[in-house]
Structure 1
Amino acid sequence: MSNGWTPERRARQAAMIQRWKPWQRSTGPKRDEGKAVVSRNADQGGMRFLLRSMARDLREQQKTHRELA
Structure 2
Amino acid sequence: MANGWTPERRARQAELIRRWRPWEQSTGPRSDAGKARASRNGWKGGVRPALRELARILRGDG
Q: TM-score range by the shorter chain?
A: 0.5 to 0.7
Q: Which stretches of structure 1, 4 residues or more, deviate above 3 A after TM superposition?
A: none
Q: What amino acid is aligned across from residue 13 of structure 1 in structure 2?
A: Q
Give the structure 1 partner of residue 18 of structure 2: 18
Mapped partners of 1:33, 1:4: distance in 2: 39
The percent of aligned pairs where both chains have the same amino acid is 64
Aligned length, in residue pairs: 49
- TM-score computed with the length of structure 1 as normaliser: 0.59
- TM-score computed with the length of structure 2 as normaliser: 0.64
- Which is richer in helix? 1
* Secondary structure class of the residue paired with 1:42: coil
CA RMSD of the aligned region, Å?
1.9
Mapped partners of 1:32, 1:3: distance in 2: 39
* Secondary structure class of the residue paired with 1:11: helix
